[in-house]
Structure formats: structure tokens, C-alpha cells
């Protein structure tokens, strides 16, 4: 333990610590998505009107964005390990409240706090990048982001299965226990890191607009991924509706299995990290963007509820997850190659922007599916990565 706490920034991060941080990111970020497939069940249980049930997901997302903009930047001025542990403590308390809550107002407040505290993941990722050497940074970030992406992708099927076996209360209770254990482990094994920046919190926040306005790498990487994440959110918001429709007649367990198959795309994250370490970020970004375009074109071309149609949807889900996973790692690798003093602020802005893109994708997806069906939703889903690809085409040859 002592050896880890005393290691210098130039020493490569141990493999076991990389795996621990990857696991931690997956466990934490899953809390943002557990409620999504259970909204109807939860709202009826706590007495929340059906027309307000969307607040359960919306407030969690708002809490996360608030955390990205106002908590994550603190990683540039506060001791990182302590910031992570306090965030997890906040999350665990909120999870316990959601597990036992019978009142809608209390549940919604706790949902907001869950989102706010879950930004610990986005303190952990740049924290790990500090511990990695320059030559291995992409690999380390890729491995950690694969854990985070697995958490996102596994959260929905896991919550469906746990709620089916026990109850929706058990989903939050088990997560609370996992976060508490994780908090204790991270406090014991993470090295301390006190940033060298000499600035106050107000000046820190004030500098973020300047960073967004002047940093081209940040603007481009955020725009690329906002487009891809909008399509990702649109697809995973609408495809369960399609599979549950009379055309497919999928049960909730079958939909959960479908979501599990899509997890295979997360393997692209560590691969993208290694590619970025070799200096191939730009061509890899183009491949990631094109992969997402293809993932939406496939179900647009092959529209059938036959077994062939199901296979096409599975392939589309894997390609979509692979393209999004790869582009996320490529973006963070590019940002983490910039000045270490601003890394947390860059990461907070990057995540907030593309997460906002995801919220837009979810909203448009639900509306498009309700008004025009699956094909209409897919056309909107195709537009986002095409716009990102067109913007990418304007990138100068030497850009990151």
C-alpha cells in the first residue's frame, strides 16, 4: 500500500489498480441508468403520477450534468482521493434513501443526488491518467473506459433482472452496498494527489468558458462525441419499445438479453486506447464515426421482424456500442495529452457537452418513435453521426 501511495507521477500505474479503477467506474456510472427500464414500476409504487414519471430519469441526468460542471473541475484544486470518497459517500446515502423511499418528492431529490455524486467516475478517469506514463496513457484510459462503458451497458439488463427476481428496491439497496464497499477500498488503496494549481473555486469555474472558447481540441472532441452519444441514447431509448411491440413480442428478459449482446462492442475501448498511443487518433476517429453511421443504416435497410431482422439489430447494437466506445476513449486520450493543470476542467466540459447530446437524442428518439415509428427514429439517429462526420472532415491534418 505504501509503495502505491508514494509512487511518482512518472511511474506507470499498476495493472491491478487500473482494473480496480475500471471496475469502480462501471459500478458508479451504472447508478445513472438503473431506473430507466423501471420507471413505470417505481412511479406506481411511490405514488408518482404517470405524466411525471420521466422526472426520475431526468433529475438523475440533471444532477450528473451539474456535477460535471461544478464538482469535477474541483479535481484541479482539491486532493483527488478525498473528493472521490466524499462523492461516493453522497451517492451511497442517496441510494439508501431511494431503496426505502415511499414518497415521490424524497425519491426525486435522492435521484438528483445520485447523479451529482456519480461524477466521481469523471474524477477517477483523469486521476488515473496522471498516474500513467505518456506512452501508456491511451491504453490505461481505454481499459478504464471499457469498465465505465460496461457499467452503462450492463446497468439496464441488470436492473430488469434484479427487479424481476426480487423488487426494484433491491436494485438500489444492492448498489448502495457496492458503493459503500468501493468507497472503503478506494480510500485505502488510491494514492493521494494534491494538484499544484493555485486558484480559488470561483476563478476555476470562470476559466471554463475561456477553455471552451479557446481550446479547439475540446470543442471538436466534444462535438464529435455529442453526435455519437445522441444516436447511442436514441437507439437504446427506442429499441426496447420496438422489441416489446407486437411485431417482435420480446419479454423484458429477452430485451435484457438483447442489451447484454450489445455489450460486446465495449471491446473497442481498450483497442482505441492502444491505437491512440501509436498516434493514429485521427484515422481511428473517422473509423469510429463511420461505424456508427453503418450501425444505423443496417436496420434502416433491413426492416423485418424475422430472425434475420433480429440478427441485424444485434449487429447494429454491437457496431453502435463499438463506435461510441472507441470515440469516447480517443477523445479523452486527446484531452489528457493537454496541460495536466486543466485536465479535470477539460474532462468535465467534454462529458457535460456530450451528455447533453445524449439527452437530446433520448428526447428526440421518444418523440420520433411515438409520432413516426422506428424508421423515423432511425433517420434522426442517422443525422447526428453524419453531422459529426461532416464536421470531422473539416479537421486540419495536424489536429488531435
Name the CA dihedral angle for 284, 353, 223, 125, rounded to a multiple of 10 degrees: -20
* C-beta separation of 162 from 178 below 8 A: no
The whole-number pLDDT of residue 301 equals: 92
Name the pLDDT band for 11 (thresholds 50, 70, 90): low
Between 73 and 198, the higher pLDDT residue: 73
Mean of the per-residue pLDDT values of the chain: 86
> Is residue 124 a part of any domain in this protein?
yes
Collapse the DSSP code of 279 into the 3-class scheme (helix H, G, I; strand E, B; otherwise coil) and give the result. coil
> Is residue 319 a part of any domain in this protein?
yes
Among 134, 164, 195, which residue terminates a domain?
195
Are both 234 and 380 inside the same structural domain? yes
* C-beta separation of 151 from 28 below 8 A: yes
What contacts 24+ positions apart, CB below 8 Å, involve 249-258?
252/37, 252/160, 252/164, 253/160, 253/161, 253/164, 255/37, 255/157, 255/160, 256/156, 256/157, 256/158, 256/160, 256/161, 257/157, 258/313, 258/314, 258/317
CA distance linking residue 335 with residue 350, whole number of Å: 9
Specify the number of domains making up the chain: 2
**253-280 residue pLDDT tens:** 888 888 888 888 878 878 888 888 888 9
Lowest mean pLDDT among 235-244, 275-284, 372-381, 390-399: 390-399
> Is residue 77 a part of any domain in this protein?
yes
* C-beta separation of 324 from 332 below 8 A: no
> Is residue 109 a part of any domain in this protein?
yes
DSSP sequence for 147-212? HHHHHHHHHHHHHHHHHHHS-HHHHHHHHHHHHHHHHHHHHHHSPP--------HHHHHHHHHHHH
CA distance linking residue 378 with residue 386, whole number of Å: 12
CA distance linking residue 279 with residue 284, whole number of Å: 10
Are both 177 and 225 inside the same structural domain? no
**338-384 residue pLDDT tens:** 877 788 888 889 988 988 888 888 878 888 888 898 999 999 999 99
Query: 280, 357, 359: which is closest to 326 by C-alpha?
Result: 280
Are both 250 and 353 inside the same structural domain? yes
Are both 365 and 224 inside the same structural domain? yes
Q: CA 369 → CA 236, 304, 366, distances in Å?
A: 12, 16, 5
Among 195, 216, 241, which residue terminates a domain?
195
Collapse the DSSP code of 224 into the 3-class scheme (helix H, G, I; strand E, B; otherwise coil) and give the result. helix
* Per-residue pLDDT at 226 exceeds 90: yes
Are both 279 and 375 inside the same structural domain? yes
Q: Which three cell numbers stand for residue 360?
A: 437530446
> Is residue 92 a part of any domain in this protein?
yes
Angle at 268 between CA 266 and CA 271, to 5 degrees: 135
**85-118 residue pLDDT tens:** 999 999 999 999 999 998 899 999 999 999 999 9
Collapse the DSSP code of 54 into the 3-class scheme (helix H, G, I; strand E, B; otherwise coil) and give the result. coil
> Is residue 400 a part of any domain in this protein?
no
CA distance linking residue 315 with residue 242, whole number of Å: 16
Q: Which residues of 10-28 are buried (b: 16+ CB within 10 A; e: fewer)?
A: eeebeeebbebbbbbbbbb
Are both 180 and 214 inside the same structural domain? no
Are both 179 and 238 inside the same structural domain? no
CA distance linking residue 121 with residue 107, whole number of Å: 23
Among 195, 227, 260, which residue terminates a domain?
195
Query: 230, 240, 229: which is closest to 374 by C-alpha?
Result: 240
* C-beta separation of 273 from 140 below 8 A: yes
* C-beta separation of 250 from 37 below 8 A: no
Are both 259 and 328 inside the same structural domain? yes
CA distance linking residue 262 with residue 319, whole number of Å: 8
What CATH number should be reported for the domain holding residue 191?
A: 1.20.1250.20
**Model pTM score:** 0.80
Residues whose CB falls within 8 Å of the CB of residue 78, separated by 6 or more in sequence, listed in order: 195
> Is residue 126 a part of any domain in this protein?
yes
Are both 189 and 213 inside the same structural domain? no
Are both 215 and 262 inside the same structural domain? yes
Collapse the DSSP code of 138 into the 3-class scheme (helix H, G, I; strand E, B; otherwise coil) and give the result. helix
Are both 55 and 130 inside the same structural domain? yes
Provide the residue range defining the domain that includes 292.
203-395
Angle at 152 between CA 148 and CA 157, to 5 degrees: 140
Between 159 and 178, the higher pLDDT residue: 178
Name the pLDDT band for 3 (thresholds 50, 70, 90): very low
Most confident of 50-64, 94-108, 323-337: 94-108
Are both 190 and 293 inside the same structural domain? no
* Per-residue pLDDT at 173 exceeds 90: yes
Amino acid at each position: 500500500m505504501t509503495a502505491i501511495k508514494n509512487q511518482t507521477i512518472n511511474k506507470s500505474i499498476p495493472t491491478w489498480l487500473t482494473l480496480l479503477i475500471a471496475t469502480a467506474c462501471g459500478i458508479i456510472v451504472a447508478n445513472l441508468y438503473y431506473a430507466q427500464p423501471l420507471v413505470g414500476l417505481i412511479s406506481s409504487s411511490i405514488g408518482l403520477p404517470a405524466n411525471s414519471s420521466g422526472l426520475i430519469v431526468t433529475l438523475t441526468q440533471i444532477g450528473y450534468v451539474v456535477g460535471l460542471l461544478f464538482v469535477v473541475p474541483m479535481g484541479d484544486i482539491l486532493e483527488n482521493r478525498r473528493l472521490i470518497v466524499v462523492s461516493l459517500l453522497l451517492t451511497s446515502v442517496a441510494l439508501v434513501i431511494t431503496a426505502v423511499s415511499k414518497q415521490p418528492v424524497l425519491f426525486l431529490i435522492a435521484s438528483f443526488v445520485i447523479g451529482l455524486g456519480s461524477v466521481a467516475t469523471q474524477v477517477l478517469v483523469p486521476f488515473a491518467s496522471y498516474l500513467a506514463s505518456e506512452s501508456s496513457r491511451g491504453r490505461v484510459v481505454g481499459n478504464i473506459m471499457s469498465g465505465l462503458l460496461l457499467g452503462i451497458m450492463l446497468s439496464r439488463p441488470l436492473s430488469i433482472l434484479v427487479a424481476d427476481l426480487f423488487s426494484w428496491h433491491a436494485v438500489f439497496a444492492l448498489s448502495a452496498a457496492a458503493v459503500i464497499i468501493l468507497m472503503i477500498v478506494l480510500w485505502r488503496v488510491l494514492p493521494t494527489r494534491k494538484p499544484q494549481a493555485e486558484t480559488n473555486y470561483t476563478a476555476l469555474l470562470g476559466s471554463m468558458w475561456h477553455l471552451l472558447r479557446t481550446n479547439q481540441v475540446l470543442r471538436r472532441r466534444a462535438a464529435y462525441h455529442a453526435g455519437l452519444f445522441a444516436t447511442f441514447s436514441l437507439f437504446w431509448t427506442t429499441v426496447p419499445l420496438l422489441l416489446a411491440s407486437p411485431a417482435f413480442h420480446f419479454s423484458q428478459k429477452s430485451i435484457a438479453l438483447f442489451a447484454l449482446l450489445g455489450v460486446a462492442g465495449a471491446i473497442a475501448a481498450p483497442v482505441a486506447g492502444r491505437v491512440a498511443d501509436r498516434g493514429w487518433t485521427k484515422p481511428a476517429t473517422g473509423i469510429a464515426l463511420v461505424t456508427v453511421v453503418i450501425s444505423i443504416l443496417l436496420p434502416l435497410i433491413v426492416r423485418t421482424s424475422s430472425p434475420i431482422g433480429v440478427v441485424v439489430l444485434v449487429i447494429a447494437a454491437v457496431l453502435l456500442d463499438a463506435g461510441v466506445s472507441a470515440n469516447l476513449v480517443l477523445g479523452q486520450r486527446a484531452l489528457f495529452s493537454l496541460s495536466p493543470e486543466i485536465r479535470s476542467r477539460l474532462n468535465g466540459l467534454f462529458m457535460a457537452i456530450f451528455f447533453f447530446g445524449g439527452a437530446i437524442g433520448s428526447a428526440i428518439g421518444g418523440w420520433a418513435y411515438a409520432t413516426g415509428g422506428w424508421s423515423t427514429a432511425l433517420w434522426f439517429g442517422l443525422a447526428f453521426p453524419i453531422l459529426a462526420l461532416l464536421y470531422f472532415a473539416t479537421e486540419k491534418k495536424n489536429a488531435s
